[in-house]
């Protein structure tokens, strides 16, 4: 196992959303998704940042009588940076067929839009009949491609956020809340 690289000192600035508020909002999003998808809910989640959100969301969907089928794909546009590099890199393959299916594509954050657009295109190119999108966080100030999510947990300003699965160079994913992180310039 490769040790983590040393990072510039970073500090949590502000808790944006508490664990309780996140639970409440995930429940609200699940209600909307259940109404839209009914009993046939096939989910493709983008790793790594969405894994906590997806786990909580599918439990909420299950509590509403849905039994989602879940697949994962890795696509990244951040690496070890706090801003998107502007290009999406595919890091995995779909393991379940999407041909002719309505898909709910889930990501942690809609920032530039590059990742969500690339993943949507991948699903459509693989024969999905429709792709609906769901993100925990929407950061419209950073958008460089014309895309909007169908389901949004929270809309945020142009700040770097960690916690609840979101990271800075693979750190801070474990936090049960969402907070801003400040990384001093080198």
Give the residue-averaged pLDDT of 6-12: 69
Residue 79 DSSP code = T
Give the residue-averaged pLDDT of 26-40: 93
Q: What is the pLDDT of residue 1?
A: 43
CA–CA gap between residue 54 and residue 42 (Å, rounded): 12
Contact 46, 108 (CB under 8 A): yes
Q: What is the pLDDT of residue 185?
A: 72
Catalytically active residues, by annotation: 111
pTM for this prediction: 0.87
Better pLDDT: 79 or 56: 56
What percent of the chain has a predicted confidence (pLDDT) above 70?
A: 85
Better pLDDT: 47 or 86: 47
Q: Which domains does the chain have, with CATH numbers?
A: 19-77+86-157 (3.40.50.2020)
């Amino acid at each position: 196992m490769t040790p983590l690289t040393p990072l510039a000192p970073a500090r949590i600035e502000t808790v944006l959303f508490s664990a309780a508020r996140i639970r409440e909002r995930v429940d609200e999003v699940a209600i909307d998704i259940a109404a839209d998808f009914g009993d046939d809910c096939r989910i493709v989640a983008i790793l790594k940042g969405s894994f906590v959100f997806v786990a909580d969301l599918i439990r909420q969907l299950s509590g509403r009588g849905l039994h989602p089928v879940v697949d994962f794909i890795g696509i990244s546009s951040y690496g070890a940076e706090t801003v998107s590099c502007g290009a999406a890199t595919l890091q995995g393959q779909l393991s379940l067929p999407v041909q002719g299916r309505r898909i709910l594509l889930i990501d942690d954050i809609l920032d530039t839009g590059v990742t969500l657009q690339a993943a949507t295109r991948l699903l459509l190119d693989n024969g999905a009949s429709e792709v609906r999108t769901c993100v925990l966080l929407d950061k419209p100030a950073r958008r460089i491609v014309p895309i909007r999510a169908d389901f949004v947990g929270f809309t945020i300003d142009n700040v770097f956020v960690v916690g609840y699965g979101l990271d800075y160079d693979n750190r801070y994913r474990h936090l049960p809340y969402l907070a801003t992180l400040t990384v001093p310039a080198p």
